[in-house]
Structure formats: structure tokens, C-alpha cells
Chains A and B, each alone.
Chain A
Amino acid sequence: MALKIVKGSIDRMFDKNLQDLVRGIRNHKEDEAKYISTCIDEIKQELKQDNIAVKSNAVCKLTYLQMLGYDVSWAAFNIVEVMSSSKFTYKRIGYLAASQCFHESTDVIMLTTNQIRKDLSSPNQYDTGVALTGLSCFVTPDLARDLANDIMTLMSHTKPYIRKKAVLIMYKVFLKYPESLRPAFPRMKEKLEDPDPGVQSAAVNVICELARRNPKNYLSLAPLFFKLMTSSTNNWVLIKIIKLFGALTPLEPLVGTAGSYCLSSVSVLISLSSGMPNHSASIQALCIVSRPLSVLSLFVVKYLGLLAMSKILKTHPKSVQSHKDLILQCLDDKDESIRLRALDLLYGMVSKKNLMEIVKKLMLHVDKAEGTTYRDELLTKIIDICSQSNYQYITNFEWYISILVELTRLEGTRHGHLIASQMLDVAIRVKAIRAFAVAQMATLLDNAHLLTGNTQHSGICEVLYAAAWICGEFSEHLEDPMATLEAMLRPKVATLPGHIQAVYVQNAAKLFSTVLCGQEGAPADSKVAQETSQLLIDRLPVFVQSDNLEVQERASCILQLVKYIQKLQQKDVEVAEEVTALFAGELNPVAPKAQKKVPVPEGLDLDAWINEPPSGSESEDEGRKTKGKAVFAREESRHTKPRYTEVDEKELAKRREVRKAEQANNPFYIKASPSSQKVYQEAVGVEHIPVVQIDLSVPLKVPGMPMSDQYVKLEEERRQKNKADRKKDKKKRREKGRQRRGDSGPESEEDITPAHMVDIVTEEMPENALPINSSLTSRCITDVCDIQGNLHDGSQVVVSVIFENKCDSFIKSMEFNVMDSLNSKLQRPEGAGPHDSLTVPFHLPPGISSEARFIFSVQSIVMPQKLKGTLTFIVKDSSTHEKLDFKLHFTCTSYLITTPCYSVLCPDLNLRLNCFDAYAKLLESGDLKGSSLKLEGINQPFHHLLARICFHHHFSVVERIDSCASMYSRSIQGHHVCLLVKTADQTVSIDAKCDEPGLLRNVLDEIKLTFSQC
């Protein structure tokens, strides 16, 4: 035995150790790969020996080679062997190698479970420590599950050295095996008050990271952390705690005040400002940060300062705007990180006044910039800045067009399409600019060769797409259409991408019509017109031969047309008018949601089947049958046709049922999106299916699913109702459950009247907002109210008012005021008196509408309310104050929030059943008081009726069975309201239950009102 040991150590003397290996690699710089491959061979030999010392030496060398990028996964088992050595020296090497080389897909990891468990319970704290360290790097879900208990015991080890490691590794365990969090949490909390500062800081670390993922659960720990913060002297811990508070502040504003407690170092400040954007401490932070920003010009601080500013910008734009010059300076910085940050900031800082200046500065940078990525970034930023909120800040569009044209001169940019879409957008929406735009575009077309010089690697030729289109569409503004036409038909055009050529061809035709128009006014000059036709006939064949189908199609079509026109011209027929008629009518921008506003013609049911769809299984059968008798196929088809038409209702229903049953039993059948009826079917069984009316997709108000037909129908009904309403108080209100948005309007600034007005296509116009042409109101304003509950706060209601300027003058200084009642109060900013009015944060140019939101706090939601209010404003020309009185009607319905039964939509049957259970339990609980209502003479279909209740009164359908449905809604203060709606022969009875009888009575009254008005 002794001999063996001696022999082993003698062997070892000849082995390379790690130092030798490193030295060797350094000495073999030229043939490193070869040297290493011999080394690996040696290592393989060494690994085969029994001597653990040799093995661990080999593993150590492998770890080094792994770092150099060599694959050592083949030695994973040897690493495990070394890990399981009883000697600390080797164990340490083994765990190190494992932590470096193992990852989740390493299969030997499962072999290590027992070894690690043994090491964890080792009497030697360093054995345990090394195992914990290693585990932290390669913990897998399996390991986490198996070892969670062992580690949890270690959390109360006597040695702080182990405790602290155990606490930290628990974080990794939680991530891999979340189930362990609940049992371990109390102990983790205990560790926050551990006598050892190391353990304490480890626990703070872990809880802070956990809280970042789900802050809500950790709110209760805030006092404890506050105590830690005031008592701890460890800066590392302080920073972590502040980060934690940062995560908690959005949920609990009180925590924020704690933050101002320790403004000690710059780093704390940064975490402050990034964590608590809604607190005044951040302003202080800004001031302090911006001082070194300007004085020290230290690059690190500079970066952080900019970062902090961008966070503050969101909440306090004013305080950042004053540092504009400083930020513009940062654009000159050498460092790209800093420049990009500064660019971000600029976006939020522009105003009408400084836009041109900022963009000019940016343009300078574009010229200077090196590296296409940064230049592209600049380009997109310029366009972003200019086009933000519907070109709000642009006062002179001629300037903007020239900027866009200048941008096209950039070489190698990828954003040609972006510039192009901007050009198109501006030219279409700003009518006054068209003449100028067309002139610019004509020049662009003329100089197209400058842009197309490097077609292959630049997207800039996209701009020509816009240029050609604008020149064609607005050709009446062209000074010399003939020249432009010639430019568009140059042979070089054929090298452009296909879609651009297509636009060229189409717009050449438009130009042609303009030329004809211009010439035929002076009949003597018909020669020019004929020349133009000849030009087209000469040049178009190039496009007819294009390899792009669309170009081909358009070119050949237009070529034939021109040939025909030429024929007519030769007979001296006046053709100009007819040719122009081809392109008559104006093209308008269309908002993405515009489709919803188109009314569905009466009698058209979009959901109804035009032809009953043949069932899948049937057609399959049919297919098989015909295949089998392929010889008689023709005959067969002649037979089947009449048979189909003869199928009667009864048989259809029967077949459908068979199909349903088949589908229900077929696991591979992908079910259609579940509707409420479907839910019922599956819950009860297949036999009881009523034949489904397919046209019913209405009763469930599914968030995110467009139900345009429903809106349209309701819209019509409401329109009628509104007419009646308006007669009463010239106002209309509209209820709808939408989420509240932050209402920080743009800072109003001095009036700079825009040179051109933009047609604003509101994309986010609420689907059912109805602008009213209120000629009755004194002057020019109409408003549409939208009263809705605030989900987050039981006592808040948000009212959206749309102001629309119907007169021809500019309206400004609008102030909104409401007389508070005991129950409802308008929320005014701090420091304002109870009768002060609120300034509406925008001005209204003629014909423009805009939306403002006001928050009301409401004490009791049981009663409906009417609040009187006034709106004062100044019409620019007369500069006198005008006044408009209005009433706000808070119905009880507006306190209800549509609370869809989410699980109804859930594919999991169990969840759906649970949902019904919960609903049934609620009804049975006896907490709810009942009330009922009978409506007579209702002759609309049941699903329309349900839809109306859903829509007007914020209910959602829980379940519907034939002519009976149960519905549910919740008030902002958490009252449950349940309805059972039944219908029979034009009579609808509604049984309702609610835990607040007053509220229920009023809601029912309102439902009654809704139906009595139609």
C-alpha cells in the first residue's frame, strides 16, 4: 500500500501540473492547437489512473482548457469522481470544475444528488461551503426539488458562513423550484434579523430580488425594511433596500417617503430616481446629478445622469427641459452610449418653439455621424420627434418636407420606407403643402439617378415610391408635368425594385391625363398631346417586359389605353375629359378602426351563414363514396345534387347533432372558439344540445375581440336615444368600462398658430363616441362624456370629455368646473380651493376635437347623481369669455364594471365548471338581496337584448340556456350584481340579486329606462 502511494507520487512528478500547462501553452504560441491536443491526450491517460491526486490535477487542467474554449464535456463523469473525493483539496477542484463545465443538460448531474447531500451535511464547514458554491452554478429543477429541504436546514446552521451561503442559494432554488418558496419564506424572513451582518445582507439580497418579480406579496415587510434601513450602516444593504422600496412604491405611496430619508451617495440617488419616478425626491436627485453632469463631465456620472433624467422626464418634463443645452452637448460626445441616451431624452423635450432648432442640430450630426447604425438611429429619431402625436409640434410643413428631402441624401440608410411613408402621410393630410411637396418630389424624380446609384445596398430608393405617387396624384400642382413624365419613363427606372416600378407606371398614366388636360385647353397645340402619347407608347414596352407581374400588368393595360387614345387623337377627338375621369376622386387617409364606423345595411346579418356549411365528416363520407364508384362519378354527381336540396330541416338538425357528438368524441378535432352556449353543451352533455343559432356571437363581451356588428346596432339605437337626450340637456353621455389612463396632458405653451392644419385621423377614438353637431349650444363646443369606474380605487370615477370645436375660430383657455355635491367631488390638484376650475390642458383649433379626463371621487354609489358644471373658454378673435353650462349624469350603471367570467373562455373544462360553481355559491350564500323587474312589449331577439344589457349596463353573460341567461357585474366598491333574464312572448322578466338593495333598485330602473326608450 505504502509502495503504491510512493509510486503514485513519483508518477505525479512527471505529470504536468496546471502551471506547466499554462507555461506550455504560452511557449507554443504558433502551434497552440497541436500542443493542446497532445495535452488532452495526456489528460485522458491521467484520468484513467486510480490515483485521485492525478485525476484532480487532470480535471484542474481541463477546467483551464474549458475556459480557452475547448470542449471537455466528455470528462463530466471524471469531474463527478473528483467531486466525491473525501479530501477537501480535490473536492474543491471537483466542484470548481463542475461549476464551470456543467449546465442544465449535462446528464451526469443527477448522479451528484447524493454526493451533494452528503457534503451539505458534512461536519466541515468548508466542505459544505464548497458544495453550496458549486450547486449555485449548476442547480437544476430536479436538484432544487431534492435538496431544498437540506438547504433549508442549513439556513439555521450555527456557523454564519454556512447560513449566508444557504440563504443566497435559496434564491436559485426558488427560481428553479418555486414550490419551495412558501415553506422557506418564514425562515428567510427570520434571517433579515440575523445577528451576523453577512447573513442579513444575503437575506436582504434574496428578498429584494424576489420582490422585484412580484412586489405585492412583500408589501408587509416594508416596516421591517424601514427599520433595517435606518439602523444599517452597510451601504450595500442600503442600496438593495432602496431598490426594494423602488419596487414597492408603485403599490404603496407611503413607502416612497422613506426614500428621501437617505440621500447620501450618488449611487443611492440613481437607484432612487429609477425606483421612484412619482416622488419629489427624484427632482432633488436630478438637481444633484445634473451638477456633476455639467461641471465634472465625468463620463460615468454623465451617463447615469442622462439615464436618471430620462426617467424623470416621464413625470416632470418641465424640470428636464431646462437642461436642453446640456443634453444637446451630450450629442457631441464621443461615446455612443451617451449619445443614444441623449437622443432618447430629446424626444420628450421638443416643443413647437425648439423643434426646428433641435432638428437642425440633429441634421448636423447626421452629416457628421460615422457608422450606419448610429446614423439610422438619428434618422428614425428625427422622424419620431417630428411626427409625434400627429405632428403636434410642427408649425411649418414646408420645412418638414425639406428635412425629409434632405434625409434622402443620406447614403446607405435602411429607412427609406420610413421617409417615404412620412412624405406620403404629410402630403395627403396637409392639403396646403401639396404644391410645395409636389415641386420637391418632381426634383427628386428628376435626380433619381443620385438616389439609385447604389440601389443594391440601400433602401433609400423607397423614397421614389412616395415621390412618384405624390407627383402623380397631385399632378395638378406640377409646373411642368411633361418633364416629370419624361423623368418617370427613363429606361433606368427599370432597374428599380418591382413595387416602385409599378407605382411609376400607374402614376405615369395619371401624369399623362394631366398633360392632356393642360394641352387640350389650347386646341391649336394638339401636337404636344400627341407627342406625349407617342412618348408613352415608346417607353412603356420596357415595363411590359418586366419580370415583376404587377409592373407587367399595369404597363400593358396602360399601353393599350394610350394606343387607343392615340387613335382617337389622330381623329381629332377630345379625349382629355374621359382620361381624367379615370383618376377622378380624392384619396383619403383612413384610420385603422374606420371600418367599425361604417353602418351595416339594414337586414344584413354578417354572422348568418349564406349557405349552410357541409359538415366535415359528411363530406368525407361523400368523398369516399364517389371515390369508390369513380367510374360512375358523373352519374353519381347528377344524383346527389337534387338530393341535397331535398334535405329537410329535421334531417339537417339530426345530422348536425351526429356531427357534434362525433366532434366531442374526437380528441383531434380542434374546437371552434368557445361561446357561452358551447360551455353549456359541454357541461351538461351532448344529448341536450339545442340546435345552435350560429349568428349569435354577441352575449359574451370578450375583451379584445372585435364585435363591430354589435357596436353598429347599438350605435343606431343610441343615436336615436341621444336625439331625445339632447333635447333635454344638450348633452349626451355614454357609459363604457375602460381602463383609466394617466391624465398628464401636454404642457400647454404659448400660442404659435400653425401655418398648416393637419387632418387628424384619431386612431384611438373610442369606438362609440358620437360627435354631435350641436348647433344649439351657444357657440362651438360639444362634448361627449364617458363616465367610468376606476378599477383600482373604489371611490374614483373617471369622466372623459371630448371637446370638439365646431366654429371657425381658435378656442383657448378652456376651464372646466363642476359644482361639487356632498357625495361627488371633482378631484382638483393639491392646493386648489373647492370651487376652483380646472384648466383643460389643450387649445382647440377649428374643427378639432380632443379628449380630457377628469377624476371624481364618489362616496356612495347607491344613488344616481346629477352634477352641474360650466365650461368657460376664450374664442380667439373676440377674446371674450364664453360660458357653457352642462350637466353630468352619474348613473348607477356607471359605477358597474364589466367583470367577465374569464374562465368561461378557458379551454379547461374544470376551470369553467369552477366558475359556475363560484357563481352558484354566490347566489346561494344568502348575502344577496333580491329584486325583480318585468318588461313588456319587447320584440327584439333575445341575444340583442342581452347585448344591450351587456353594453349599456356593463354586465357580462355567465351562462345562457335557450331563452334564459344569467349575467354578472361588479360595482367599483365590490358589490356583486347578478341577473337572471328570462324571456317569453315579448315579455322579459329580470330577477336580480345584489348585496346592496339600493344600488340594485337603481340599476334595474336604469335598465327599464333603456328598454323603454327604444
Chain B
Amino acid sequence: MQFMLLFSRQGKLRLQKWYVPLSDKERKKISRDLVQTILARKPKMCSFLEWRDLKIVYKRYASLYFCCAVEDQDNELITLEIIHRYVELLDKYFGSVCELDIIFNFEKAYFILDEFLLGGEAQETSKKNVLKAIEQADLLQECTFPV
């Protein structure tokens, strides 16, 4: 996977994770382009589009779009599955997740993503294991809190 973007229906970026080294300028251009193209698509269209030499897989959950870019030979369905698994993880962690959860706890959302994907590849497919790792890391954080 090359990168993952989360953005709202208004086109506001909520999360971005880049697995390829790109300069800030390129990143901005790509996310602007993609957000525009995807928002222009109607709900009854398929979740895939070919964009430059990449395949874009996206899915909408409530008001949030989850969008991944994968290479040409990669499987679209498994990418869709990855998106869904990530949403499930967020849901489990926050307890019926909503956009605001991600806005206000955006670092947590990143931590979950980092436990689930590493370097653009799925690292842990078991939901239980991901959440366990996050919980323990959080616990560690609480203990070392200075006050």
C-alpha cells in the first residue's frame, strides 16, 4: 500500500499515512486531487478507480471516506478488507466510533493504524491482538504519566 487517507464529506483531511517517502508538496497535491475525484463520485459507483499508475480503493463510512492507494498488481478486495478491518478496530477501541473521536484522538487513531499496518503491509490480522497491544501500550503510558 502506498498511502492511506481519511477525509470528511466536506473534503477535510482527518488522517493521513504515507508509506512512500514524498515531499510535503507532492503529498498535498495528491491528497487534494484524490479528495476532489472521490467526492465527485456518486454513492452507487464501485469503490475502485485507476488514478495515475495506482489503484485507488475507497469506502465511505457515515461521513468519513477511507481511501487507500495500492499498486497496480495488488488486490482491490483485500484492500477493501483492510479498510473495513481498520474501521472495526476503531469501532472496538472507541466504542461505536464517530468522526469526532478521530478528530480529537487523532494520535490514538494513528497508533491503532500502526499496530495494524506496518510499512504498508498488514502486520496483524487478528483484531484481538491489535487491541491487546494498544491497551498495554496505553497502560504503559498511564503509568509513566508524570503527575
Contacts and interface: CB of A to CB of B under 8 A. Distances in A.
7 contacts: A9-B146, A63-B106, A87-B144, A88-B140, A198-B123, A335-B41, A337-B49
A201 B125 CA distance: 8
Interface in B26-55: 28, 41-42, 44-50
B119 A171 contact: yes
Nearest to A338: B46
Interface in A77-123: 87-89, 92-93, 96, 99-100, 103-105
B141 A92 contact: yes
Contacts of B133: 126, 129, 161
Interface in A26-66: 53, 60, 63-64
A67 B77 contact: no
In the complex, the 8 A-B pairs of residues with the closest C-beta atoms, listed nearest first: A267-B77, A136-B119, A335-B45, A299-B46, A303-B46, A133-B114, A104-B21, A168-B118
Contacts of B21: 103-104, 138, 140
B119 A168 contact: yes
Given A89-B145, A92-B137, A165 B46 contact: no
Nearest to A12: B147
A5 interface: yes
Interface in A293-337: 299-300, 302-304, 334-335, 337
Interface in B92-146: 103-104, 106-107, 110-111, 114-115, 118-119, 121-126, 129, 133, 136-137, 140-141, 144-146
B46 A9 contact: no
A96 B110 contact: yes
Contacts of B13: 67-69
B15 interface: yes
- Using C-beta atoms within 8 Å of the partner chain, give the interface range for chain B: 35 or more
B124 A198 contact: yes
A89 B141 contact: yes
A73 B25 CA distance: 12
B24 A71 contact: yes
Nearest to B78: A239
Interface of A: 5, 9, 18-19, 22, 53, 60, 63-64, 67-69, 71, 73, 87-89, 92-93, 96, 99-100, 103-105, 124, 126, 129-130, 132-133, 136-138, 140, 161, 164-165, 168-169, 171-172, 197-198, 201-202, 205-206, 209, 212, 234, 236-237, 239, 243, 266-267, 270-271, 274, 299-300, 302-304, 334-335, 337-338, 340
Given A19-B104, A103-B24, A274-B75, 13 more contacts: A63-B107, A68-B13, A69-B13, A87-B144, A92-B141, A169-B119, A205-B121, A205-B122, A234-B125, A270-B77, A300-B47, A335-B42, A338-B45
A136 B124 CA distance: 15
B10 to A, nearest CB: 11
Contacts of A105: 23
Contacts of A198: 123-126, 129
A299 B44 contact: yes
Contact of B123 (A88, A89, A103, A164): A164
B44 A172 contact: no
A133 B104 CA distance: 22
A334 B144 contact: no
B74 to A, nearest CB: 8
B45 A22 contact: no
Contacts of A239: 75, 78
Contacts of A67: 13-16, 106
A73 B136 CA distance: 32
Contacts of A201: 122, 125
Contacts of A18: 104, 106-107
B48 A300 contact: yes
Contact of B48 (A93, A205, A303): A303
B121 A168 contact: yes
A269 to B, nearest CB: 10
B61 to A, nearest CB: 15
Contact of A92 (B17, B111, B118): B111
B75 A243 contact: yes
Contacts of B119: 136-137, 168-169, 171-172
A334 B41 CA distance: 10
A893 B106 CA distance: 71
A337 B45 contact: yes
A18 B108 CA distance: 12
Nearest to A212: B73
A93 B107 contact: yes
Contact of A165 (B42, B123, B129): B123
B40 to A, nearest CB: 10
Most interface-central of A63, A103, A169, A171 (chain B CB within 10 A): A103
A206 B123 CA distance: 10
Nearest to B16: A67
A682 to B, nearest CB: 41
A653 B12 CA distance: 76
Given A68-B13, A302-B46, A206 B77 contact: no
A337 B124 contact: no
A974 B50 CA distance: 45
A274 B74 CA distance: 10
Nearest to A86: B144
Contacts of B80: 300
B119 to A, nearest CB: 4
Contact of B121 (A124, A130, A161, A206): A206
Interface in B51-78: 73, 75-78
B41 to A, nearest CB: 8
B24 A73 contact: yes
Contact of A266 (B16, B77, B137, B144): B77
Contacts of B141: 88-89, 92
A84 to B, nearest CB: 15
B124 A164 contact: yes
B87 to A, nearest CB: 16
Given A168-B119, A334-B44, A126 B137 contact: yes
B12 to A, nearest CB: 8
A334 B18 contact: no
B118 A133 contact: yes
Contacts of B19: 136-137
A100 B19 CA distance: 10
A138 B14 CA distance: 21
B75 to A, nearest CB: 5
A165 B114 CA distance: 10
Contact of A300 (B46, B50, B111, B114): B46
A478 B28 CA distance: 59
B78 to A, nearest CB: 5
A88 B125 contact: no
A53 B118 CA distance: 27
A203 to B, nearest CB: 11
Nearest to B75: A271
A335 B46 contact: yes
B32 to A, nearest CB: 9
A520 to B, nearest CB: 62
A236 B122 contact: yes
Contact of A88 (B14, B28, B114, B144): B144
A89 B47 CA distance: 38
Contacts of A63: 106-107
B22 A103 contact: yes
Contacts of A19: 104
B107 A96 contact: yes
Contacts of A164: 123-124
B111 A96 contact: yes
Contacts of A89: 141, 144-145
A624 to B, nearest CB: 50
A953 B75 CA distance: 48
A197 B126 CA distance: 9
A473 B114 CA distance: 70
B140 A209 contact: no
A60 B16 CA distance: 15
B26 to A, nearest CB: 9
B122 to A, nearest CB: 6
B73 to A, nearest CB: 6
